[in-house]
Structure 1
Amino acid sequence: MMKQLLKPDYIFESSWEVCNKVGGIYTVLSTRAKTLQEDFPDRIFFIGPDCWKGKDNPSFISDDELLKAWREHAVEKDGLNVRVGRWNIPGKPMAILVDFTPFYAKKNDIYTQAWIDFNVDSLHAYGDYDEASMFSYAAGKVLESFYRFCLKPSDNVIYQAHEWMTGLGALYIRKTLPQIATIFTTHATSIGRSIAGNNKPLYDYLFAYNGDQMSRELNMESKHSIEKQTAHNVDCFTTVSEITNNECKELLDKPADVVLMNGFEDDFVPKGDAFSEKRRKARGVLLNLANKLLGTDISEDALIVGTSGRYEFKNKGINVYLEALNRLTRDKNLKKEVVAFINVPGWVGDAREDLKERLASDKKFDTPLHVPFITHWLHNMSHDQVLDMLKYLNISNAADTKVKVIFVPCYLDGRDGIVNMPYYDLLIGFDLTVYASYYEPWGYTPLESVAFHVPTITTDLSGFGLWVNSVEGHYGMLEDGVKVIHRTDYNYSEVADAIKDTVSEFSSLDGKDVLAIRQKAENIAEKALWKHFIKYYYEAYDFALRNRTERLARKDN
């Protein structure tokens, strides 16, 4: 007989990415919010940093009447500068944004107390550690104020903190309000990401790495310390995939209590005629952009390929993607022209005026622009890894080459000055995407791709790739909608060849086969909807609440 899961009365989640789109965690929280809001109507609260002060934040709808009595109390009695409103996403859940800057004045005292209470070493902090920690602490103070003003001791309350950046607040709650059940979710271990990003082999030697020792070697002691101590001291420690759970076991000396796989919602994927129209429009925009930049007449049936995500050149597989495209230029089996995009935000400067002028014109151009690889100027044109590798590989984008490469180095938010379309409105126009990640705890980009019926290539070093293999019962193949390539610390060249061969194979398929693959891609996306994955969160809530009850009972005895 299945046990009855304990359910919380209230859920609070804190993340740097609440109403603040930076990376994949925004997608995790914002796509899941609707499901939780339906199950816990206005009893789920997201706490984020008020880092848009004085600027219009499109993700936040302020509402002075919402939680008015508490907000006034928090400001006047608890000295918290908070704004309350709705997160502008499906479900419109409540969001509390807190100004954390006043806590800098107490920083040393806060760090000292964290050392005394939990052995958190903040002595070697640098970079974004202070900013993240002061927000995290402020988020903990927000929950403390809200709990004491609005809630009852009998209420079952969950506090879920995301990433090392919110660890300090989770530990503060653990000490100050022990009756609240705490969950800590690491989406990637800071030390694992650092090992991979510093060109050290992560996977073959994972069993031999000592997280504390590596944190000293890589100057990551403070981030690693808060992450490790939070993992060991919350009621429920979670991560997002089995591949990251292996890291947690080895580098944090603590396996996850529950694995929370990342789901998705498809309610913003257009249906029927609207889908076809959006796809047609996106393809038109991409091909027109290519013509204006390259001065080449691109065929209507050209294969539009893309990659996207954070600018982590090795970890996200951008380097091996470029290597594969270079090899594709010499592939005799390639049946179509390929226009390959790299939609990765770099150190972007201005939108190119010469390109804007051409885009404003209806005519076709037969001469390329100067530097026909990039849509926006960068602040570091001479030291950019994508541009450096294009030069090293001698990729020319000449009219007679069958593979053209275009770097779009900005956030696709619809206001970039060149493309002027949101990412999802553009993604729908691609034929194939490539996410050949070396380090990828989950992999939202390939999941987003298949949600828009765009088949994708990924690797078995991503949580998503491993999940696809488990769903299919074998390594994902092109005809499954997701091609999963085996990747190790050392098989870079084989991965490049596998990408090249898959793109080449795709180029030779007829329309009927392509449609079948697109349907398979959509089928995989359906299996990853939140309605299937939300159950893992309910398991985590139950685990945390039971642990909390046992912990309090031990304390009373």
Structure 2
Amino acid sequence: MAKERFTPDFIFESSWEVCNKVGGIYTVLSTRAKTLQQVLKDKIIFIGPDFWKEQESPYFREANSLLAEWQWAAKEQGLKVRVGRWTVPGEPIAILVDFNPYFEKKNEIYGWLWEHYQVDSLHAYGDYDEASMFSYAAALVVESFYKHSLKPEQKVIYHANEWMCGLGLLYLNNKLPQIGTVFTTHATSIGRSIAGNQKPLYDYLFAYNGDQMAGELNMQSKHSIEKQTAHYADCFTTVSDITAKECVELLDKPVDVVLPNGFDNSFVPATAQAFARKRKAARKKMLQVANALLGEELDDDTLLISTSGRYEFRNKGIDVFVEAMNRLLRDRDLKKKVVAFIEVPGWVGEPRKDLQERLATLNIKHETLNIKQATNSEQPSFNTPLEVPMVTHWLHNMSHDNVLSMLKYYDMHNRKDENVKVIFLPCYLDGNDGIVNMTYYDVVLGNDLCIYPSYYEPWGYTPLEAIAFKVPCITTDLAGFGLWANTVFGHDGQLEDGVKVIHRTDYNYSEVADNIKDTVAEFSNMTKKQIETCRKNAEALSEKALWTHFIEYYYEAYDIALRKAQMRVH
């Protein structure tokens, strides 16, 4: 007979990215919140750092009436917290905590950590202290709330994300052993560092010693907190099978459950009409930007492709993307013009004034033409390129930027007679960048094809987001998402499946670039019907990755953690 599953009465989840949009973990938590909120109705509480002093967080709405009694008690205890709602689907409760007061007792906290859990904080530098003080503060919040508002018989989970939240998990493991703890490493700090330092990760994974590499790469403290948290947590988890292998080799600890990253499709336009309208608007805007920058007429038959994500030049495969576009320039099978956007936030200075002026002129002309009921053939455009027609915003480090340097190295200057143009859009698409002025989700659905040739990618949200918006994409089997797609298909994903999954190793960079080039050329030869099939299959795969399916793995993790906590206490 199957044993009955333990389910939590209360979940506290902490992350540096609660109400703080800096990377993929924000997407994991903010899209999953709605599913848990539907089940737990305000019994899921997210804890994040409060550093919104001068300006209010755009992702948080304070509410003094929420948990009012506890708020009062917390202030009496000297905790500086703000309680409110995270303004994402489901609007869960979020507690933002000010961690600055704990810096003065940092050494005492680190001493305690060494004494109880052998965590080496001696080599700490950079963001280690900041993250640790936040983590400590988050644990104090949970301890205070637990003692004030919860009963001993209630089953409680504390879920910590990444090494940044490890200290708090260990503190609660010691002070409140009745709480079940879950730790998720989204990418091991050592694995990311090995990959980022141009060392081959995969062929030698079995031979790397995590502790030794931590010393070599000056990562002792982050590695130490991550490793000890993995060993002491009741349930140790990661986001994909590929990172699970890393955990075994580099942290000497197999994971208990793999928690793949799901998606909430509530921001995908619900009706075909709304979707078509948004897609049309996105394409129009991107083609306008391209025309103003390149001084070239581009019709709607132009293939719009893009890559996006964090600016990790090698890990995210941005280098291979540029390489593939360079090779595509000379590909005779390419049947359409291509505009390839690289949408990764660089060290951005300001939007280009000359480009802004041209876009403003285009808008005025469009409005005038609309009054005259213009035909498409009369659409206004420019026929001379701007200087440096590869970038939409000036950067602080124009001469040392990886993307611009590679384009220059290959003499890719977006010349008129070339069929492939590459445009670097080096900023967050938050709707206020000064050039595109549309959010990322409003832009991505205008693409024909998205390309994410990752070398190091524990999961890979960008391809999942693309297919949710019916945009076929190319990724690799070094991304957790790519591996998952292959298991769903039962074979290596092909373009007609909606996701092309390219085999990638430590050493086949050139092969990957060729494969991307060939796939784009193949796509340019597809009929409307074939493209429609790709788009339908992409959308169908994305529906298999909704949180409604993937949340099941979390319930399994909670069950494991609660059982271990119960055994510890009884």
TM-score, normalised by the number of residues in structure 2: 0.96
Give, in whole Å, the separation in 2 of the partners of 1:449 and 1:45.
29
AA at the equivalent of 1:264: F
Q: How many residues align?
A: 552
Matched, 1:44 2:61: no
Which residue number in structure 1 is paired with residue 324 of structure 2? 324
Give the distance between the partners of 1:395 and 1:506, measured in 2 at CA: 22
**Structure 2 Cα separation of the partners of residues 550 and 209 of structure 1:** 35
Partner of 1:540: 557
| 2:340 equivalent in structure 1 | 340
Task: Using the TM superposition, give the Cα deviation of residue 299 of structure 1 relative to its aligned residue in structure 2, in angstroms.
Answer: 2.2
Query: For residues 108-257 of structure 1, what are the structure 2 equivalents within 5 Å?
Result: 108-257=107-256
Q: CA–CA distance in 2 between the matches of 1:230 and 1:68?
A: 32
Map of 1:4 onto structure 2: 4
Aligned to 2:483: 466
Amino acid at match of 1:195: I
> Who is 2:369 aligned against?
none
Q: Distance in 2 between matches of 1:162 and 1:53?
A: 24
Q: In 2, are the aligned partners of 1:439 and 1:461 still within 8 Å (CA)?
A: yes
How far apart in 2 are the matches of 1:318 and 1:329? 17
Q: Is the 8 A contact 1:437 1:461 kept in 2?
A: yes
Q: Distance in 2 between matches of 1:303 and 1:22?
A: 30
* Separation of aligned partners in 2, 1:211 and 1:529: 34
Q: 2:519 corresponds to which residue?
A: 502
Q: Distance in 1 between matches of 2:534 and 2:3?
A: 40
| Partner residue in 1 for 2:79 | 80
Alignment of 1:229-378 (within 5 A): 229-270=228-269, 271-362=271-362, 363-378=380-395
In structure 2, how many angstroms separate the alpha carbons of the residues matched to 1:469 and 1:543? 28
Correspondence for 1:519 among 512, 532, 536: 536
1:550 aligns with 2:567: yes
2:361 aligns to what SS in structure 1? coil
* Aligned counterparts of 1:375 and 1:472: Cα–Cα separation in 2: 38
Q: SS of 1:116's equivalent?
A: helix
- Residue 544 of structure 2 aligns with an amino acid whose one-letter code is K
In structure 2, C-alpha distance between the alignment counterparts of 1:254 and 1:31, rounded to whole Å: 28
User: Does the CA-based 8 Å contact 2:49-2:96 persist in structure 1?
Assistant: yes
Once the two structures are superposed, residues 445-471 of structure 1 have per-residue CA deviations (whole angstroms, 9 ceiling, x without a partner) of 000000000000000001000000000
- The residue matched to 1:326 in structure 2 has which SS? helix
Counterparts of residues 16-95 of structure 1 (less than 5 Å): 16-76=16-76, 78-95=77-94
Q: Give unmatched runs, 5+ long, in structure 1.
A: none
Whole-Å separation in 1 of the counterparts to 2:426 and 2:390: 11
Conserved? CA contact 1:299–1:337, under 8 Å: no
1:79-133 deviation line (CA, Å, top 9, x unaligned): 1110000000000000000010111111111111100010000100111111111
2-structure distance, mates of 1:167, 1:467: 28
Equivalent position of 1:14 in the other structure: 14
Distance 1:145 1:56 in 2: 25
Distance in 2 of aligned mates of 1:130 and 1:410: 28
For 1:38, the aligned partner's letter is Q
Range with bigger deviation, 543-552 or 37-46: 543-552
Cα distance in structure 2, aligned partners of 1:416 and 1:74: 39
Q: Deviations over 1:143-198 (max 9, x none)?
A: 01111111111110000000001000111111111111111000000000000000
- Give the structure 2 partner of residue 399 of structure 1: 416
> Partner of 2:365 in structure 1?
none
> For residues 335 and 171 of structure 1, what CA distance do their matches in structure 2 show?
58
- Shift in Å at residue 300 of structure 1? 1.6
Moved more, 355-364 or 285-294: 355-364
**SS of match in other structure, 2:94:** strand
Whole-Å Cα distance in 2 between the matches of residues 117 and 415 of structure 1? 48
Q: Which AA in structure 2 matches 1:39?
A: V
Equivalents in 2 of 1:50, 1:257: separation in Å? 32
Distance in 2 separating the partners of 1:141 and 1:316:
36
Cα distance in 2 for partners of 1:103, 1:358 equals: 51
Conservation of the 8 A alpha-carbon contact between 2:178 and 2:568 = no
Q: Does the aligned pair in 2 maintain the 1:86–1:92 contact within 8 Å?
A: yes
Per-residue deviation at 1:255? 0.8
Contact 1:47 1:97 in 2 (8 A): yes
How far off its partner does 1:259 sit?
0.5
> Which stretch shifts more, 178-187 or 363-372?
363-372
- Paired with 1:3 and 1:28, the residues of 2 have a C-alpha distance of 29
Write the distance in 1 (CA, Å) between the matches of 2:423 and 2:330. Answer: 18
- The amino acid that maps onto 1:534 is I
Tell me the residue number matched to 2:373.
none
Q: Distance in 1 between matches of 2:317 and 2:197?
A: 14
**Does 2:467 match 1:450?**
yes
Runs (5+) with no aligned partner, structure 2: 363-379
Contact persistence 1:212–1:221 (CA under 8 A): yes
| In 2: Cα distance, 1:550 partner to 1:505 partner | 58
User: Take 2:235 and 2:189, find their aligned partners in 1: how far apart are those partners?
Assistant: 19
Structure-2 separation of matches of 1:156 and 1:300: 57
Give distance in 2, aligned partners of 1:495 and 1:423. 26
The amino acid of 1:176's aligned partner reads K
Give the Cα–Cα distance (whole angstroms) in 2 for the partners of residues 103 and 389 of structure 1: 44
Deviation at 1:267, TM superposition (A): 1.4
**Counterparts of 1:425 and 1:263 in 2: how far apart (Å)?**
20
Question: What is the deviation of 1:361?
Answer: 0.8
Structure 2: distance between partners of 1:164 and 1:131: 12
Provide Cα deviations, 1:192-244, integer angstroms capped at 9, x if missing partner: 00000001000000000000000000000000000000000011100000000
The 1-side partners of 2:297 and 2:217 are apart by 49
Deviates more, 1:65-74 or 1:533-542: 65-74
Measure how far apart 1:2 and its partner are.
Answer: 3.1
Shift in Å at residue 54 of structure 1? Answer: 2.1
Structure 2 CA distance, aligned partners of 1:53 and 1:137?
Answer: 20
Identity %: 67
